Amino acid sequence: MRFARVASCVVCLAFAGAALSGCNALTSKDKNAPLIPAANAPIADVPIPAGFTMTSDSTSKVVPGNQIRFVDHRYKGEEDVLPIVKFYRDLMPENKWNLVDQNQSRGTEVTLHYTKNNEDCYVMITPGSFGMSYIRIKIDPMGRDAAK
């Protein structure tokens, strides 16, 4: 009888330990793992990291007939700035965007400027508080100064 009690305590402790370590494994992420694109990005040729959500102040418009796009999308998610920069530097060329320049302004915001056909695309990545980061995607006809 005593053996059965000890055995059941050991089994309970083993399950508790497995459950706790399983929860930690699910909530912690590998900081060195590359970000992956979301399955259904709102802009077909501009990827968004999985886990980022569009904010309500996002806008977009396509002019009928000539397909000119005006996009100003904003996203938020839990990731550091540098992996997001790497994500865009790696994936935008796969969508035929050409990097024009990269700069860091306002202390911590990183801006990536791309061109494709007759469009400018600015990807602005800003760190927030509590591990949040913000991404702003602006697409405008080339020469319209979309960075504003």
DSSP string, 109-122: EEEEEEEETTEEEE
pLDDT for 35-76, tens place per residue?
999 999 999 999 999 999 999 999 999 888 888 999 999 999
- Give yes or no for residue 106 having a pLDDT over 70: no
- Give yes or no for residue 11 having a pLDDT over 60: no
Please tell me the distance from the alpha carbon of residue 51 to that of residue 49, in angstroms, as a whole number: 6
Contacts for 64 with CB less than 8 Å, ≥ 6 apart:
none
Please tell me the distance from the alpha carbon of residue 114 to that of residue 35, in angstroms, as a whole number: 20
- Give yes or no for residue 15 having a pLDDT over 80: no
* Contact indicator for 128, 76 with CB cutoff of 8 Å: yes
DSSP summary character for residue 49:
B
Determine the average pLDDT of the residues in 110-133.
Answer: 95
Contacts for 34 with CB less than 8 Å, ≥ 6 apart:
83, 86, 87, 90
Name the pTM for this structure.
Answer: 0.76
Please tell me the distance from the alpha carbon of residue 128 to that of residue 107, in angstroms, as a whole number: 13
pLDDT of the residue at 122: 97
Phi, psi of 93 (to 5 degrees): -60, -30
Give the bridge partners for 18, in sequence order: none
